[in-house]
Amino acid sequence: MYRTALCYHPQGAATLFELSTKVLKIIPFASLEESNQSLFKLASGEESVVVTAETIFHPQGGGQPSDTGIMRMQTQDSTIEISAVRYDLIDKGQVLHLGRFTTEQKFAEGDEVKQSIDESKRLYYSKLHTAGHVLGLAVRDLLSQQIPNFSEGKASHFPDSASCDFGGTIDGKYKAAIQAKVDEYCARSLPVEVDWWEEKDFAENNEEAPDASFLLPGDTKFRVIKIVGGGAYPCGGTHVADTSKCGKITVRKIARNKGTSRVSYSVEE
C-alpha cells in the first residue's frame, strides 16, 4: 500500500523536500477512471498520472492546495512536472500525481525516481494552514462564550480564499480584538506539534472528536495538530514549526450570512 513519507520536525514542520522512491503505475490521463478524472479540473487530457511507493507530495485536501514539483529518473533523462496531487477515490489511501513529461523518455513501472517538491510553495501553504489554526483558536478563545450558538466550521487555506467559518453572528466590531489575539499568539512563538489521538483523547483535552471520515484507510488514530498553549485540531495538513513562523497574519474581514460568519485572512508569501 502507498504510504506517506512526509518527515515532520518535532514541532510540526514538514521538512522533507526530496525523496527517492519507486514507480508503481503510470496511467495516461485518458485511461484514468472517470471518477478520478473528475478530481483534476484543469487537466487537458494530455497528462499522465504517476503512482509511487511513497510520496512527499501533499495531496489537496483539508482546505490545503496540493504540492507541485517534479519527478526525475536518476539513470536516464526522464522528467515529469507534477501540477496537481489528489487522493484516489477508488483505491483508498493511494495518491495520484498528475503531470506532464518534459522529455521524450517516460517512466515505466519499477523505475527509481527522485521526487522534488517546490519548497517555497510548500512553505507558503504551511504558513497559510497554521495561520488558519491560529485564527480559529483566537476566535474560539475570544468569542465562544460571547456569541450565541457559536461553533467552529470548515476552513479554507487556499491563497485566494483563506478563511475560517463559524456558527453564530460575529459582529465587525470584533475584528480589532481578533487581530490583537492573533498577533499575541504569533508573538509568543507557540510550538506547533503533531500528535495522534484516539477518541478518548479528545474528551480528555476538552476538544470535539471528529468523525471517522478524518481517518485514512488503516489508521486507528486521528492525526492532530497542537498549538501548544492554544488548542488542537484534527488535521492532515502541513505546518510551520511555531506560530511566529507564520509571519504577519492579517485579519481581512468578517462576513455574515444567515446566522453564520466567515473570517478571512492572509499571510505574506
How is the chain split into domains, by residue range? Answer: 3-117, 129-267
Average pLDDT along the chain: 91
User: Could you tell me how far CA 103 lies from the centroid of its own chain?
Assistant: 30
Alpha helices in 144-266 (DSSP H): 175-187, 199-204
Across 56-60, average pLDDT: 94
Residue pLDDT, tens place only, 214-236: 776 667 888 899 999 999 999 98
Domain 129-267 coded CATH 3.30.980.10? yes
User: In sequence order, what E strands does 58-191 have?
Assistant: 69-73, 79-87, 95-101, 112-117, 151-156, 163-167
Residue pLDDT, tens place only, 249-259: 999 999 999 99
How does residue 65 score in pLDDT terms, banded at 50, 70 and 90?
A: very high
Round to whole Å and give the CA distance between 216 and 53: 16
Q: Which three cell numbers stand for residue 68?
A: 507541485
Instruction: Check residue 6 and give its pLDDT.
Output: 52
CB-CB contact of 48 with 99 (8 Å): yes
- Which single residue is written with the C-alpha cell 496511467? 27
Q: Which CATH class is domain 3-117?
A: mainly beta
Instruction: Check residue 16 and give its pLDDT.
Output: 87
pTM: predicted TM-score of the whole model, two decimal places: 0.92
Round to whole Å and give the CA distance between 157 and 264: 10
Residue pLDDT, tens place only, 76-86: 889 999 999 99
